[in-house]
Structure 1
C-alpha cells in the first residue's frame, strides 16, 4: 500500500475547525510582512527570513505562477499584480478545505466574513463566537454592575442562536492566563468585579469575570474553544500552559467539549489532558504554518504520542493572509502523512488504521464534534 496514506490525506476535504478571515484589500510590503509573524516588525529583519516566510516562498510562490523560493520582492510584486481577490481564491481553493469554522471576534484588518471566505474557497463556513467580545459589548452598553451577569448571559445566548454558529471561544490565555480559581464565582463576586471593571474601563482582564465567562460558556451547551500556548507578544506564554486548567477541567467533566487550540510548546501537556478527560480535544493550529511542512511532523508526533485518535483535530488558525489557510493545510497533510507512514513502516500501525486515523483527524472528528454535515451524505 505504498503512498496510500499521503494519497488519502491529499484527497481528503479538510474541516478547518478554527480559523479567521482573509484580508479584503491589497497589502503593501509592510502590511504583508506584519501578517507573516506573531511578533513585532524589527528594523533590518525581514519576516520572510523566518520558518513561515521561507515556507511561503517555497510552497506558496508556485500558486502565484512563480518559481519555488522566489525572492520576496518578486513574490510581493506578483501578489500585487494579481490583486487580493485572485490571491485569496487561489490559496483558499488550494487548501482543499470543505468546511471552515471562523472566529469572527478578531478583526483589526478588514477581512472576509464566513460567507465570503466560503465563497472564495468553494466551501462552507460556520461561525465561532468570541465571548470576550460579547462581554465587552455588554459593558459598553452602560449597564450597572448588578445587572452584568444576567446581561452577559442573555447576550451570549442570543449570539449563539444566530444561524451558523457552531462553537464559542475564549482568549482567557491572553487576558488572565489559566492559573484561575476553578470554582464558579458567586453573584456577589461577579458584581464587585464588574463594578471595578466599569470604573477603570478597557478590555476584560479581571480574573473573577473571566471565571464567570468560562462557566457561562459551559452553560451555553456548544463546544468551547480555548486558545492555549503560542500567540503574539500580548501573551505571557507560561500562563497559557493548558495543564493549568486541570482543576477546572475536573469540575466540568460531563458538560461541553473543550477544544485546546494551537498548544505549542505545550502539545504534550494538552495531549495528557485529552488522555485523562473525556471532554478535552486538541489541535496544533497555527503552529503548523509557523513551522512549515519541514517540521509539522515533529510537532504532530508529540501531539499524538498519547492523544486518543478521535480527539485530535485540524485547524489552520489562519488570519489575514490566505497563504496561511493553504500552508496550514499543506503542513498538516504532509506532517501527518509522514508520521503515520513511519509507524506503518515500523509495523506499529496497519495501513488501514493509518488511513482511518488520517480521515478522523482531518475531517471526521470535527464533523462529529460540531454536528456538521459531511459533503458526501453517504459517508459515515
Structure 2
C-alpha cells in the first residue's frame, strides 16, 4: 500500500507541462457570459446547442467540482456563477493562481483571438517558468494577407488568376519570412495548424507540378476577403501553408532546436468536418516529413486509436491527451487513457488542458486528468502490468518529461530533484512540502549531503540523517560554517583572515537530487550562504550568480541561459613497487582521437553509456557525447538552463562521472592539461541572452573586462598551459569571432557565444557571474563594440591586421597577470562584491605560491587527485 500511495502522490503532485493552451480572458471580460458563455467550460457546442450542455454528465460532474473551487455550498449553476462573479471581481488573480497550481510552464497558442484576452507573457506570474509560444500558422497567414490587401494592388474579382501572381509572390515571401523568424525565436517552441477546421486533415503530401490550382485558390481567398472577412480556408492554399511550414521546419539549422507542428484533430466545434478530422488522413504527410515531429492534439477523440496507431509506427508522431478533460465523462476519460496506452510508446504521450478564456478550464482539466491517470495506473499496477517504478516513471513522463524533451524546454521539475530554472524565483511549493514530496518519491533515501563550492572550486559538504535534515528545513536548527572557509585552500590551510565568526548554510530544496553512481542511500542539495541575521552573504558564489542574473532580467529584461561542455580525461592507476614508485595515473587508452571510434575507444563505450544512463536516471539528459583529442579524453554536453541551474547541473554531472569511473577503478580528471604533449581539457560554456537586441554592448562589456574575467575562468597556473595558439583553446588575444574556435569568445548565433577560456579548475558560479557582470556593465553603459569579428587566429595576424580589427590586448598568460587585472578592476569589484573579490584574490595567490613550490610531477598528481 505504501508503494501505491507513493504512485498516487506522484500523480497528484508532480509538476506538469501544459503543452497546448490559450490566453485567459481579462478581468473585465471574464464575466461577460453573453459573449463568453461559461458553459463552454465543458462543451464544444455553440449557440442554441450549448444550452443543452447543462444536461450532460460532464456538466454535472464539473459543477460539483467547481462548487469546491468556489467554496460554494451548492452546485446550482446560477449560484455557481454568482460565486464566481464575486471571486473574479475581488481576487481574479487569486482564482487563476489556484486554477494553475502545479503548472510548471504553459505553451500558449496566443493567436486564437486578439480581443478581450491577456497578453502571452502576462501568464508568467502564475507558473514556475516563463510561458512559451506556439505559433498558429493560419493566423500568421491571415495577418500577412491583411497586410498585402492594405498595401498591394488588388486585381478585380473577374481577373485572370495569373494577374494575382505579384500579390502571391509578396504573400508567399512574407509568410515564409514570418515563419522563419518564429523558428529562430527562442520564445517560440512549436507551431500549430487548424487546417482540420478549415479544409480537413487530408493534406496533399507533395506540391503539384501545376501551380495554377494554388494561384486560383489564392485568388479566390483574396476575392472573398475583399467582400467578406479575411480568412484562409481554401484547400490548395491551406495545404500549401502546412507544407511550406513543414519544409521550413525540416530545413532548420542544426544550431537551432527542432520545433514540432501541432495539428488539431478529432473533437471540435461544429465548423469541422468530423470525417476529415480523423488523423488517419495525415499518414502520407507524416511519412513525407520524417524529420519533423507531429503532435496530434485533443486525444484525436473519437479517433484515439487511429492516432495511437500513427504514434506507434511513426517515431515522429506524438499524441496529446488534452481537451477531452473535462469535455467527456469519467468513463470516457479513463477509456481514452487506456486506448492511448494500447499501442503508443509512453515517451510519446503528452498532457495539455487546451485551457482557454476561463481559468476553470485549466483547473478542471488538470484535476480530472490526474484522477483518471491515477485510477488507470493503480489498476495496471494492481493487475501486474506495471511495476510501481514503471508506473511512476510513465506518469512523470506524460505529465512533464515528454513535453520537456519534445519542445526542447530544458526545464527541470522539482519532483525529479533538480532546480527549477526560473530567474530570480524558486518553486512556489514550500520547503517543507518540497521535502515531503521528495521523501515520498524516494523512500529509500536516508541521508542528505548539504554541499557548497568554495573559491578553489572544491566541493565541500556536511552529511545528515534525513530526520535531522528535516529539522534544518523546518528551521528548527541551523548549520554554521566557520568564516575561514572564505580564505581556505584545498588542503584546509588558511590563506589569511580570521577564524572567528560563522555563516549559515541554507538548503536550496529545488536542487535536491539523489546520489547515483555510488553505493549510498543519499541525496545532495546545494546551499545558499546567509549571515547571522539571515541576509545573503556577499561571498556566496551561488548568490553572486543569481544576483547578477536578476539584475540583467529586472533592469533590462534580458534572460541569460548557460550550458556546459564537460571534458574529462579517464586515467588508470599504475605503480612499479620494485622501482619504489608511488601510485601514479596514466591514460586509460592512447589509440584515440577526436570523434573517432578506434579499437581502444570502443572498449570505453560501456563506461560512457553507463554514465549517460546514470545521469538520465536523475533527469540530466545529455545532448551528446563523444571522444576528444587527448588520450582518454571524452566530452559530455549538457542541456542549457538558467545560470544557477546550469552550474548546479554541471557539478552534479561531474560528481556522477567521477563516481561511475571509480566503480571501474578509474579516475576522471578535469586537469587543464594533464599531458604537455596532448590537447588540454576545457569546460567550455555556452551563454545566450534573450532578446539579443543588446548583444553588441553586452559583448563590448565582456571584451573590455576580459583580462579580469580570466582570473575566474582560468583560475589556476595550470590553466595557462592552454593559452596558446593552434590548439583550439581560444588562442592568445582578447577577440571574438563568428564560429572561430581560435578566439576566446566564439559567436555561434545572435546573442549566443561560447567561452573558450574556461576549464574545470574554475568555480563556475563565479566564472559565469563575472562574465554576465561584464556584459551587464556593457549594457548599462551602452558601450560600443570596437573589436570587429575576427575570422582567424589573431596570433597569426601581424600587428597592423590586428589593429584594423581593434584587437589590441593580449590574454593574461599567467594567473598572476589576471589577478592583477582583477585587483584593479573597479567595475567587476562593484558588481561581484569587493569582499568577495578581495578574498578570492588572496586565496588564489596563496594557492599559486603553494603549487609553484612543488616539482612538476608532484603538482600534476596533486591536481589530478583533486580535480
> Which one of 181, 184, 188 corresponds to residue 211 of structure 2?
188
Task: Spell out the pairing of 1:13-32 with structure 2 (5 A cutoff).
Answer: 13-24=15-26, 25-30=29-34, 31-32=36-37
Deviation for aligned residue 1:44: 9.8
The alignment partner of 2:264 has SS state of strand
Structure 1 partner of 2:82: 77
Structure 2 partner of 1:148: 171
Deviation for aligned residue 1:280: 0.3
- Is the deviation greater in 179-188 or in 321-330? 179-188
- Is the deviation greater in 361-370 or in 29-38? 29-38
The answer (yes or no) to whether the contact 2:39–2:50 under 8 Å persists in 1 is no
Deviations 1:106-139 (A, max 9, x none): 1275122222223134553111110001111111
Q: Distance in 2 between matches of 1:155 and 1:85?
A: 40
Describe the shift of the 1:183–1:352 C-alpha distance in structure 2 as closer, same or farther (beyond 3 A).
same
Deviations 1:234-291 (A, max 9, x none): 11111100001111111111x2110000110011100000001110001121111112
* Residue 366 (structure 1) aligned with residue 403 (structure 2): yes
The answer (yes or no) to whether the contact 1:284–1:314 under 8 Å persists in 2 is yes
Deviations 1:9-44 (A, max 9, x none): 111010000001121123144433353321123289
Q: Distance in 1 between matches of 2:136 and 2:72?
A: 38
Q: Give the TM-score normalised by the residue count of structure 2.
A: 0.42
Gaps of 5+ in 2: 153-166, 250-258, 413-417, 420-510, 512-617, 620-867
Q: Distance in 2 between matches of 1:298 and 1:228?
A: 18
- Is the deviation greater in 367-376 or in 265-274? 367-376
The alignment partner of 2:23 has SS state of coil
Report the structure number with the largest CA radius of gyration. 2
The answer (yes or no) to whether the contact 2:105–2:127 under 8 Å persists in 1 is no
Describe the shift of the 1:208–1:240 C-alpha distance in structure 2 as closer, same or farther (beyond 3 A).
same
Deviation for aligned residue 1:186: 5.1
Structure 2 partner of 1:257: 293
Structure 2 partner of 1:10: 12
The alignment partner of 1:16 has SS state of strand
> Which one of 175, 196, 199 corresponds to residue 176 of structure 1?
199
Q: Distance in 1 between matches of 2:203 and 2:407?
A: 27
Deviation for aligned residue 1:333: 0.9
Describe the shift of the 1:6–1:87 C-alpha distance in structure 2 as closer, same or farther (beyond 3 A).
farther
Q: Distance in 1 between matches of 2:70 and 2:408?
A: 36
> Which one of 236, 241, 245 corresponds to residue 217 of structure 1?
245
Q: Distance in 2 between matches of 1:324 and 1:293?
A: 16
Describe the shift of the 1:177–1:92 C-alpha distance in structure 2 as closer, same or farther (beyond 3 A).
farther
The answer (yes or no) to whether the contact 1:109–1:320 under 8 Å persists in 2 is no
The answer (yes or no) to whether the contact 2:404–2:411 under 8 Å persists in 1 is yes
Structure 1 partner of 2:190: 167
* Residue 278 (structure 1) aligned with residue 315 (structure 2): yes
Q: Distance in 2 between matches of 1:349 and 1:299?
A: 18
Q: Give the TM-score normalised by the residue count of structure 1.
A: 0.92
The alignment partner of 1:357 has SS state of helix
* Residue 100 (structure 1) aligned with residue 102 (structure 2): no
The answer (yes or no) to whether the contact 1:89–1:121 under 8 Å persists in 2 is no
Q: Distance in 2 between matches of 1:18 and 1:178?
A: 19
The alignment partner of 2:409 has SS state of coil
Describe the shift of the 1:41–1:206 C-alpha distance in structure 2 as closer, same or farther (beyond 3 A).
closer
Structure 1 partner of 2:138: 132
Deviations 1:86-122 (A, max 9, x none): 3453354344110100001112751222222231345
Q: Distance in 2 between matches of 1:278 and 1:362?
A: 20
Describe the shift of the 1:47–1:150 C-alpha distance in structure 2 as closer, same or farther (beyond 3 A).
same
Deviation for aligned residue 1:306: 0.5
Q: Distance in 2 between matches of 1:173 and 1:343?
A: 34
Describe the shift of the 1:252–1:84 C-alpha distance in structure 2 as closer, same or farther (beyond 3 A).
farther
The alignment partner of 1:79 has SS state of helix
Deviation for aligned residue 1:57: 1.4
> Which one of 199, 223, 234 corresponds to residue 223 of structure 2?
199
Structure 1 partner of 2:535: none
The alignment partner of 2:17 has SS state of strand
* Residue 54 (structure 1) aligned with residue 60 (structure 2): yes
> Which one of 327, 340, 359 corresponds to residue 322 of structure 1?
359
The alignment partner of 2:333 has SS state of helix
Structure 1 partner of 2:124: 118
The alignment partner of 1:305 has SS state of helix
Structure 2 partner of 1:63: 69
Q: Distance in 2 between matches of 1:373 and 1:84?
A: 37
The alignment partner of 1:179 has SS state of coil
Gaps of 5+ in 1: none
